[in-house]
Amino acid sequence: MPSPIRREITGFSNPTVKYLRSLRDKKHRKREAVFLAEGLRLLTDARECGHVPQMLVMATGRDPHPLIGALETAVAEAGGEVIVTSPDILSKITGKDNPQSVAGVFSEFDTSLASLDRGASKIWLVAQALRDPGNLGTMLRTGDAVGAGGLILIDDCADPFSVEAVRASMGAVFTQKIARANWDEFLPWLRGGNGQLVAASLRDAVPYRGAPYAAPCFVMVGNESQGLPETYEMACDLRVTMPMRGRADSLNAAVAAAVLAYEVLDGLEGERPLRT
Amino acid sequence: MPSPIRREITGFSNPTVKYLRSLRDKKHRKREAVFLAEGLRLLTDARECGHVPQMLVMATGRDPHPLIGALETAVAEAGGEVIVTSPDILSKITGKDNPQSVAGVFSEFDTSLASLDRGASKIWLVAQALRDPGNLGTMLRTGDAVGAGGLILIDDCADPFSVEAVRASMGAVFTQKIARANWDEFLPWLRGGNGQLVAASLRDAVPYRGAPYAAPCFVMVGNESQGLPETYEMACDLRVTMPMRGRADSLNAAVAAAVLAYEVLDGLEGERPLRT
């Protein structure tokens, strides 16, 4: 087993620090095809899912932890680099006041539709033009919880590899497949195989509760302010509506996706106890 | 009808601009007992719910809109002040790059438990030590959607009157009652009347689906990282569990509240169509 070689960085102006900080910017992430994730639990989840960072950044002055040791070993075995730096510099890298003890630089995944195996899961989440990275991360987290296969990003969405999205995903960025496509690519791909496309809608919709969901079920939500374009809604196999008892006519996008996805999960699992 | 008197502000250093900007800070909001809300739709919702701002701030250089006229009239009738300023200054006030055309300063509401009429709604949402203002705002929005009476904030929560929470509530801050209390105040208040306290939990919990919910049902979620303290969970009348099919053992707090609240809504409304 190769012994981890640590490189220590003490200066804010170090080129590696500049490189790491630049990864908070989408343009730089895209150019380098990497992204930044932080936190011992998240990096451990990643490792257990087979994702080892190219570069591991650890803060000095913390107690040793066996999980950090395991990460270091994995990175060294994979030929990656281990950086040790001050908590202040780590904080500057992640942009968080109370930084986690570790961060890692990961290679971006293949986000082509072709990389998805639609038969692998009963549920897939689809986000159209979602602009809030927190919402995307939350959808990834929900997808993990309902056993979805992944999240498909349609049209111009926020970056799922942004620090905010990765943070909100609570590690689900490593367990969920992520694909990106325009609507004109997505629809033919969907129709090239099995798949029921479902959206929350007010147009000739049936109650979401107990609707005839079928696997693989693609649960789609639209942009935070505009919702889904009408043509997209009309291309759905099933339009469902959720009760709206108040003044508002819509839910937060990530909330709508979750309420719907849990209903789909229940519907697809068939039997459920009768209410007494 | 009094004719609205507009005061024009052109300088960033104007004391009123400083006052308005200071309201983005919790300390100042608390001292003044006011909060800031922005957007024509939101302010119109507020007006229709009987909440008229003390001060209305409008950006110059936009087309006239009948709803803005209605707001101006309402503010003038209530003896409030109407400020006209540049889009740049409004942007500086709200801290948003693409500012809305209007913002308003509202008096804080009574947030005592005593102000709640628990019989007024079948569902109430309860947040314990929730730190993310976006989550609080999203819970308010969900509460509006499920017809909840309001949101009760237990222990040290984020400020529901912060710009972020108000924005995420999409106007529900004006339709939902908001109360703040410590656990030691909340529990005796709850037990002083009807009310079923429900939390998502892993401890001796029953499936959330079809659980015996009873009105008024208080749906409680805990802090984003810690969850609910065990003693709080054990004080609940009903502990329910949601399927977790992936690696994660929890949902985003606002998502968990929503999935649970929609299930409670269905349960309390009784009849539902049999699945075919």
Tens-digit pLDDT profile for chain B (276 aa)? 555 678 999 888 999 999 999 999 999 999 999 999 999 989 999 999 999 999 999 998 777 788 999 999 999 999 999 999 999 999 888 887 766 789 999 999 989 999 999 999 999 999 999 999 999 999 999 999 999 999 999 999 999 999 999 999 999 999 999 999 999 999 999 999 999 999 999 888 999 999 999 999 999 999 999 999 999 999 999 999 999 999 988 999 999 999 999 999 999 996 554 444
Same domain, A121 and A176: yes
Q: How many CA atoms lie within 13 A of B9 on its CB side?
A: 24
What is the complex's ipTM, to 2 decimals? 0.92
Question: Which of B138, B245, B274 lies closest to A147 in CB terms?
Answer: B245
Return d(Cα A160, Cα A165) in angstroms, integer.
5
Q: Angle at which helices B253-268 and B133-146 pack, to 10 degrees?
A: 10
Same domain, B155 and B260: yes
Q: Is residue B276 part of a domain?
A: no
Q: Is residue A192 part of a domain?
A: yes
Q: Is residue A276 part of a domain?
A: no
What single DSSP character describes residue B56? E
* Per-state percent for chain B, helix, strand, coil, to nearest 5: 40, 20, 40
Same domain, A54 and A171: no
Same domain, B155 and B258: yes
E strands present in chain B: 6-9, 34-38, 55-59, 81-85, 102-107, 123-128, 150-154, 177-181, 196-200, 206-207, 217-221, 238-241
Question: Which of A246, A250, A255 lies closest to B255 in CB terms?
Answer: A255
Same domain, A79 and A29: yes
Residue that terminates a domain, selected from B107, B138, B167: B107
Rounded-to-10 torsion of CA A201, A202, A208, A209: 170
What type of residue is A207? P
Task: DSSP for B208-231, please give it.
Answer: STT----SSEEEEE-BTTTBS-HH
Say if residue A1 is exposed, middle or buried (CB neighbours under 10 Å; 0-12, 13-18, 19+): exposed
Q: Is residue B61 part of a domain?
A: yes
Regions of chain A where pLDDT drops below 70? 1-4, 98-99, 270-276
Same domain, A188 and A93: no
User: Which chain A residues contact residue B48 at CB under 8 A?
Assistant: 247
* Per-state percent for chain A, helix, strand, coil, to nearest 5: 35, 20, 40
A139 and chain B in contact, CB less than 8 A: no
Tell how strand A34-38 and strand A102-107 pair up. antiparallel
B218: nearest Cα among B264, B155, B269, B172: B264
CATH of the domain at A74: 3.30.1330.30
> How many angstroms away from the CA of A256 is the closest CA of chain B?
9
User: Which chain B residues contact residue A274 at CB under 8 A?
Assistant: 210
Helices (H) then strands (E): counts for chain A:
10, 12
Same domain, A250 and A134: yes
CATH of the domain at A232: 3.40.1280.10
Return d(Cα B75, Cα B55) in angstroms, integer.
7
B168 and chain A in contact, CB less than 8 A: yes
Q: Is residue B152 part of a domain?
A: yes
Same domain, B257 and B154: yes
Domain that holds residue B57: 6-107
Return d(Cα A144, Cα A134) in angstroms, integer.
15
Residue that terminates a domain, selected from B54, B81, B107: B107
Same domain, B136 and B80: no
Contact A145, B259 (CB under 8 A): no
Same domain, B77 and B120: no
Same domain, A253 and A160: yes
What is the structure's pLDDT at A172? 96
Q: Is residue B274 part of a domain?
A: no
User: Which chain B residues contact residue A48 at CB under 8 A?
Assistant: 247
Residue that terminates a domain, selected from B107, B131, B153: B107
Provide the number of structural domains found in chain A.
Answer: 2
Q: Is residue B57 part of a domain?
A: yes
Contact B133, B165 (CB under 8 A): yes
B168: nearest Cα among B142, B190, B201, B206: B142
Q: Is residue B31 part of a domain?
A: yes
Give the Å distances, CA to CA, from A276 to A48, A209, A210, B210, B272.
42, 18, 18, 8, 13
User: Which chain B residues contact residue A144 at CB under 8 A?
Assistant: 245-248
Q: What SS3 state is found at B84?
A: strand
Q: What does the block give as tokens for B202?
A: 């892993």
Same domain, A11 and A91: yes
Q: What does the block give as tokens for B35?
A: 């909060």
Contact B257, B140 (CB under 8 A): no
